[in-house]
Amino acid sequence: MSKEMVDAYRESGEIFIARAKNLSPTQMNTSPSSGQWSPAYIVHHMADAEAFFTTRFMSILSDEMPDVVPFNEAVFPDTLHYALRSAHASLALIEGARMASAEILNSIESAEWSRKGRHTALGEYSLHDAVAKATSHIQDHLAQIEETLKG
């Protein structure tokens, strides 16, 4: 189970990164319909989310029942200056975080997948839950990029 989960996690990141790297500057900055993020903003959001996910994985693995704090993505574009950030740098963060996390996850014992933290909104939150969420999260945002580009 754990190898398949790590493979899905790693592959979902690789697919997202490859797709985003193939976007032209015009596509990356496509103005979506009102209230939606451009592909560049989605890439920045994913970079920020990956930082959170990586921290969650490490906390759950190294601490006893750590608090897992949700992130407030609604404020990220303004407070983390998405309009001024480089998509290239954000993609590098995603790639590095995914590679490092996959190495760690591939090295853990099967019992460690059941280690838990306490998500402040969801309650008990296992490493398995965190990796599954990170995998589906990047897949969802890849679909969002594709929808934005369809116009």
Give the H/E segment covering residue 126. strand 123-126
Q: Confidence class of residue 1 from pLDDT cuts 50, 70 and 90?
A: low
Strands (E), the chain: 67-68, 116-119, 123-126
Interval 43-96: pLDDT, tens: 999 999 999 999 999 999 999 999 998 988 899 999 999 999 999 999 999 999
Sketch out the chain's domains with CATH numbers.
2-150 (1.20.120.450)
Here the tokens at position 22 are 């193939």
Interval 12-31: pLDDT, tens: 999 999 999 999 999 999 87
Do residues 37 and 142 make contact, with C-beta atoms less than 8 angstroms apart? no
pTM of the model: 0.94
Backbone φ and ψ of 126, nearest 5°: -85, 165
